Structure 1
């Protein structure tokens, strides 16, 4: 199955855009804390972390307990603990997700980050923006903007050989 987009080419462009954005704010890119949201955001963050050769480890968030629909949909059966192996207090954070749609996942991720400490800033990066916001949250850096039919959903597969594919919505 072929990918809808060239994920690696988009990530390479996003890496360049991120370096420019961070350095234009007067921050050394080597000092940012990179955090991926499970699962696809972690795969993307890993690619970016390696591409930029960042010295500090990257973080991973599992926002299952922070979701505002937790009581309606129940617990994800593959919940794993989040891992932030660096201080978030006064740190410039780059939060990475594969797909942004409603903004609710990002809100949950920011709530969790603030439980670890108050960052100096958060830059939001998303590979794909589906543009169906329910909350006023916008990515600072985005790879592709897509419009899907109601019966479609987009899925990132990986982590080796990252691909974006269309699937029938459940």
Structure 2
């Protein structure tokens, strides 16, 4: 059983980080015209919805949100699901992403493999003009040459530690904690 070492972000810190990321997205893209937020299942979807709310508050313009299921694009699918079929919930991107600026949203950036799978999935859906990455936490330990454009908090970790993101929409709390494996 993993033991919690520290809570590194509380509800208020998460809210501030998402507000900062929303401002950075607007600034980098000179507004949100032709931009789309796409959350990676599961927690990335809720973070994308929260970012969309902040962006609309700031800009007065709604931004489209999509949901991406990367299950079948993972390169570790056989390791994770040896005794069971992968649970595919499906992607929900009800608009054309071709020639749009897609901001991929996820909770934690670790090895980069989830993001690579997300980019593969997006390319099967359409041809965006660019793909940017927004993450709540970057914990290091990259295995692929991927970096986030927008980071809520950098939390250097050891490989024996685990970052756990909890969001009120599914976990009944907003916090980010470090656990010892």
- Which residue matches 1:72? 79
Residue 176 of structure 2: aligned partner: 164
Q: Distance in 2 between matches of 1:57 and 1:3?
A: 32
In structure 1, the residue matched to 2:125 is 116
Give the superposed CA RMSD: 2.0
Q: Does 1:20 align with 2:27?
A: yes
Tell me the residue number matched to 1:4. 8
Tell me the TM-score normalised to structure 2 length: 0.83
Matches within 5 A, 1:1-170: 3-5=7-9, 6-23=13-30, 28-53=31-56, 54-74=61-81, 78-160=87-169, 161-169=173-181
Alpha carbons 1:57, 1:85 under 8 Å: kept: no
Question: Which consecutive segments of 4 or more residues in structure 1 shift more than 6 A?
Answer: none
Distance in 1, Cα, partners of 2:85 & 2:70: 10
Shift of 1:162: 2.5
Higher relative contact order, chain-length normalized (CA < 8 Å, sep 6+): 2
Q: Aligned with 1:15: secondary structure?
A: helix
- What SS does structure 1 have at the residue aligned with 2:8? coil
> How much does 1:148 deviate?
1.9
> What CA deviation, in whole Å up to 9, does each residue of 1:19-43 have, x standing for no partner?
11111xxxx4043111011112111
Shift of 1:8: 0.5
Q: Give the gaps of 5 or more residues in structure 2.
A: none
- Cα deviation code 1:58-80 (max 9, x no counterpart): 10111111001112222676531
Residues in 1 aligned to 2:23 and 2:7: alpha-carbon distance in whole angstroms: 22
